[in-house]
Amino acid sequence: MQGYMTVKDASAKWGLSSRWVNKLCQDERIPGVTMFAGAYAIPADAEKPTLDRRVKTGAYKDWRKKYGKNKIAT
């Protein structure tokens, strides 16, 4: 298809693994991505998405108070 690239092409262009690009497509983090015949079609002019891997759930909030230096059993 003209104007689109495959997951493999996007992974080579952005320097990411094809599994990671596939996951980005699943999570809809690449704008304009569509599913075509069981494969993702990524717009050729799509920018590499930012890889924000920070924990946003608050699961590690105040972990120093909870597991500080003196409280870790060795």
| CA atoms of 35 and 4, how far apart (whole Å) | 11
pLDDT at 15: 93
What is the band of 12 on the pLDDT scale with cuts at 50, 70, 90?
A: very high
Q: Whose structure tokens read 């596939």?
A: 22
CATH match for 1-45 among 3.30.300.130, 3.40.1800.10, 3.40.605.10, 1.10.10.10: 1.10.10.10
> What pTM value is reported for the model?
0.67
Side-by-side strand order, sheet with 4-5 = 4-5, 39-43, 34-36
Structure tokens at 63: 């972990």
pLDDT at 34: 94
pLDDT tens per residue, range 13-68? 999 999 999 999 998 899 999 998 999 999 999 999 887 777 777 777 777 777 77
